[in-house]
Amino acid sequence: MADKTRILIVEDEAEMAQAIRLRLEANGYEVLTAADGAEGLNRARAEKPGLIILDVMLPKMDGFKVSRMLKFDENFKDIPIIMLTAKTQKVDVAMGLEAGVNVYMTKPFKAEELLRTISGLLAKK
Amino acid sequence: MIAPNSDDQLLVREIKDKIIWEVKLRYAIVGLGLLLILFSMISRFHLGIFPSLVIFIGAYNTAAFAIYLMSKQTRLWWLVSFRLFSQLFDVVTITYLIYFTGSLESPFWFLYLVMIIISGYGIYSFYASLNVFLIAFFSNFFYLGLLFLTYLGIIPTYGATFTLTPQQMLYSILNKAVFTTVSFFLFAATIYYFSKLLTQHRQELVQKNKELVVALDELRETDRLKDEFVSSASHELRTPLAIIRENISLIEDGIIGAVNEKQRGLLASSRENVDRLANIINTLLDLSRIESRSFDLDRQPADVGELAGKAVALLQDKARQKQMTIDHKTAGNLVALIDQEQVLRVMINLIDNAIKYTPENGEIAVTTERIGNDVMVAVQDTGKGIAEKDLHRVFGRFMRFNAKDEESKGWGLGLFICKGLIEMHGGKIWVESRVGRGSRFIFTLPGG
């Protein structure tokens, strides 16, 4: 691959974002981060990353809304979104899927699983 | 004046009910009277002044009912006086009846007692209890009046009384006077006493009921708060846990720098224990939702037999380690409306328990079949079984057998959660067991 795939992490917990960033960089991805929902949406629109890892409980705009804004936009609807959150209730999963996310994952997650999911989604593109 | 309160309002409602009930009763009597008149016209049976009596009851009853309906009164004293007044008419009617059926000889004096019962039964308050004594007094007054008028010769005498000498007559009348006075008032006092007793008991019940309702509301609120707390606490716990886990696994995988074998081992054990902690949090969350029955099931039609096959396949390896195999028998179409994930969890839990509590070379058999409209799943083992005195505790919370056994460490919540999940499906779960023979865990699911 000539160009590294860029992945946007939208996560308000700096340590969590940092850990995911290290993991992804070690696996050959380029990582962008955003610390709140609004910033995440702006960066996604500006940079058009190859994939987005999105938290739900975010300042300014929650993950469901960010996902909806992207998935219902012709220009961005093809960017796969992984929702990665500590919310485990079925209602939340349903809301996530309704907001258009491709995969809903709960914290704590297994790194291998996350990587597998990412490569699976990217291969499908 | 007594301030209007809810007890008074209750009493007002009851007296209103009684007034209506008495109006209906009078009309019923009028109706019967009319039938009797009709019958007498056909059979030429002589009724004397009986028709006038029927007309009298009908007239004052209608008037009283009209006044009652028009006045729309809700004051206690007004309703009590109104009721007393219409009952006075009843007493007059009874006296009238006694008069023309032979005064002293009339058998109808017991109707006064009926009036006393009707006026006092079941109602107790200062005003309403006065009623029963007033009716006893008026009944007595009218009856004695009738008797003395007879003695004075103003009212003609009939029958056996006709042949009495004035002396004998006076004696007989005095006799009756003492008897009725004493019996009427004793009767009124008895009715009063029992009504008071009844009302007090009822008030206590009402009070207790109110307290219970309040307590229940508080309990529900506490339960809801607990649910909310557990839910948000589990969310709050998960985020740091995810960071810890990911950091550990970054180091473990050598992404941060070289790690030696010993370090890797410790990191792996840390990671595994983080996972264990995460499982505990899940269990707590499930427990809370199951207890409050707020667990959201995702029910789809699915074949329970196939699902059991899946559970057996998942645990076959574990069974093999103890030199046993899990036998699975299933028959026909076993489709039911279930949350597959949760039912599978129950099956795994039951089979896992069976493996745990069965010694090596034992046998475990899983059967799935349709019983009537339900689907039944049974997990049979050849373990040591459960003593009869423990059977009812098996599905309790924090229930564990052989706590010393390192193999079976756990929270003792597994079966409690199973029970909750099956019951939320509308099914039943139970166990049959004999010490030394093994146990059989059975659950049913309503078939679709």
**Tokens coding B287:** 């427990």
Q: Do B245 and A108 touch (CB under 8 A)?
A: yes
Q: Do B250 and A19 touch (CB under 8 A)?
A: yes
pLDDT digits (tens, 9 = 90+) for A27-72: 889 999 998 989 999 998 898 899 999 998 888 888 888 888 888 8
Chain B contact present for A22, CB below 8 A: yes
Q: Do B298 and A26 touch (CB under 8 A)?
A: no
Q: Closest-CA residue in chain A for B232?
A: A87
Q: How far apart are CA B330 and CA B310, in angstroms?
A: 12
Whole-prediction pTM: 0.58
Q: Do B238 and A90 touch (CB under 8 A)?
A: no
Chain B contact present for A12, CB below 8 A: no
pLDDT value of position B182: 93
What SS3 class is residue B444? strand
Q: Which of B283, B285, B327, B331 is nearest to B306 (CA)?
A: B331
DSSP state of B3: P
pLDDT value of position B448: 61
pLDDT value of position A17: 92
CB A53 within 8 A of CB A80: no
pLDDT digits (tens, 9 = 90+) for B61-96: 999 889 888 888 778 888 888 888 899 999 999 988
CB pairs under 8 A between A and B: 62
A26 interaction partners in chain B (CB closer than 8 Å)? 250, 253, 255
User: How near does any CA of chain B get to the CA of A11, in Å?
Assistant: 11
CA torsion A19→A25→A26→A28, rounded to 10°?
Answer: 150
In this predicted structure, the answer to whether residue A2 has a pLDDT above a threshold of 50 is no
Taking CA atoms, B356 is separated from B220, B313, B316, B348, in Å, by 38, 17, 13, 12
Q: Would you tell me how many other CB atoms lie within 10 Å of the CB of residue B7?
A: 13
Low-confidence ranges of chain B (pLDDT < 50): 1-4, 403-409
CB A76 within 8 A of CB A44: yes
Which of B244, B246, B282, B284 should be substituted to probe chain A, the one whose Cβ sees the most A Cβ atoms within 10 Å?
Answer: B246
pLDDT value of position A1: 46
What SS3 class is residue B433? strand
CB A47 within 8 A of CB A6: yes
